[in-house]
Structure 1
Amino acid sequence: MNESGKKKSDGLFIVGGIALIAVLVIAIKLIFAWLGAAVPPERLNPDLAQSQGVTEQMETDAPAFCPFCGETLHDSFRWGQFCPWCGEKIER
């Protein structure tokens, strides 16, 4: 009888430990989800937010015409692409 009670106690101890680990994992995930929603990404990584602004600024002043052939370029054209008419790479 004593041995049977010990096995039952060990089983409850193992199940309780697994349940405790599961509850802790869920709690940690909820905490990180809350932090992700509460803190804006710009505050977490200000260098990245500043570099994105510079990239957007650099992309907006792309050329409107090809300096080699003079043809008009489409609105989505960016620096470093090739001219669709003459094939030259347009760089700054």
Structure 2
Amino acid sequence: MERTRAVTGRRDALTRPSGTVCPAGGWSAELTVSGDTWTFTDALWNAALASGASTAIGLNGAHSGAGSLPIAFAPNGAPCATG
């Protein structure tokens, strides 16, 4: 994610259709799962980003059923379009 202004602390949420993917771990963020919503919170070492700086997060998971797009994404709590 690239930011146009400095930011300290992030919380990005991704909602998947029920039962499509099971997260098995990730990197560069703390991952918590509640139902079908996965929340990525910054790691201590990348919590503060200067203007124009970027960071990336990733995860490993297992897929079952038909492929599908996320049904909601909210970078730092601000919902945006998916699909």
Give the TM-score category using the shorter length. Answer: under 0.3
TM-score (norm 1): 0.19
Question: Computing the radius of gyration over CA atoms, which structure comes out larger, 1 or 2?
Answer: 1
Structure number having the greater helix percentage: 1
Relative CO higher for 1 or 2, CA cutoff 8 Å, sep ≥ 6? Answer: 2
TM-score (norm 2): 0.20
Structure number having the greater strand percentage: 2
